[in-house]
Amino acid sequence: MSAPGLNQQVLDSQEAREEGLAVPVLKPNAWGGRWLNVRLPELLRDAAAFVFLPIIVLVIAVDVVGRYFFNHPFQWSQEVATLALLLLFVAAIPFATAADGHVRTETLYEKYSPRQRSIADAVAALCGAVFMGVVAIWQIRELPGLYQRGEGAEFINISYWPISIFVAVCMMFGAIQLLVRMTERARDAIRNGAEA
C-alpha cells in the first residue's frame, strides 16, 4: 500500500514531465493572459471530456446493443460518433497547445541549443498557425453555403453549419495561441542569440 500523495509526487517528478506523464501545466502569466492560456483551453477541454466523449461512448454502446442483441443496427450511429469525434478533436487542440503538449521529434530537439530550440518552436508554431488559420477561414467561407443548402447528416437531423462554426472558432483560437507562442519563441531566440 502506498502512502497518500505518493502517486502525486511521482507524477510531479522531472522524469514524469520528460516522459509526458505529468499533469499538464498551464501558464496563466504567459503572453495572452489567463483567458488565452488557461480559461478557454480548460473550457474546451471540459467540453471534449464531459460532452463529446460521453456522446461517443453512449452512441457506440447503443449501436453495439442494437446490432448484436437485437440484430438491428442504427444507421445514424456512425454519423453521430464521427461528428462527435471531430468536435472532441478540435476542442482538445487549444488545451494541448496551451499545455505545450503537441508532438515533436525529441531525438533531434534534445540536441538543439536553447536558441535553436526557440527557432524550431517559432517555426513550428507559425506552420501550425497557418494550417489552423486556413482551416478556420475555409470553414467560415463554406458556412453560408452549408446553411443555404441545409446540408447535414444523412441519417439523422443534424445540420453541419453549427459544427462548422465550432470548428472555425476552435481553429481560430488555436491559430491565435500559436501566433502568440511564435512571437514568444522568436523573442527568446533573439535574446538567446544576444547572450551567445
Task: Kindly report the number of other CB atoms within 10 A of residue 183's CB atom.
Answer: 15
Domain extent at residue 178: 28-195
* Domains identified in the chain, total number: 1
In a domain, 15, yes or no: no
Task: Write out pLDDT tens, residues 25-39.
Answer: 666 676 667 777 778
Please provide the average confidence, as pLDDT, over all residues in the chain.
Answer: 83
Quick one: pLDDT at residue 1?
Answer: 42
**Confidence grade of residue 2 (pLDDT, cut at 50, 70, 90):** very low
> On the CB side of 174, how many CA atoms lie within 13 Å of its CA?
33
Sign of the dihedral through C-alpha 113, 114, 116, 121: positive
In a domain, 5, yes or no: no
In a domain, 1, yes or no: no
**Confidence grade of residue 67 (pLDDT, cut at 50, 70, 90):** confident
Quick one: pLDDT at residue 6?
Answer: 46
9 pLDDT more than 80: no
Quick one: pLDDT at residue 17?
Answer: 59
5 pLDDT more than 60: no
- Give the contacts of 73 (CB within 8 A, at least 6 positions apart): 63, 66, 67
Alpha-helical segments (H) within the chain: 6-11, 14-19, 33-34, 40-47, 53-68, 77-98, 106-109, 114-149, 161-195
In a domain, 171, yes or no: yes
End-to-end CA distance of the chain: 50
In a domain, 163, yes or no: yes
Task: Kindly report the number of other CB atoms within 10 A of residue 55's CB atom.
Answer: 16
Q: Name the DSSP class of 24.
A: P
In a domain, 164, yes or no: yes
Task: Write out pLDDT tens, residues 119-173.
Answer: 888 999 999 999 999 999 999 999 999 899 988 888 888 999 999 999 999 999 9
In a domain, 60, yes or no: yes
Q: What is the pTM of this model?
A: 0.79
Q: Which amino acid is at 191?
A: R
In a domain, 107, yes or no: yes
Q: Is 152 helix (H, G, I), strand (E, B) or coil?
A: strand
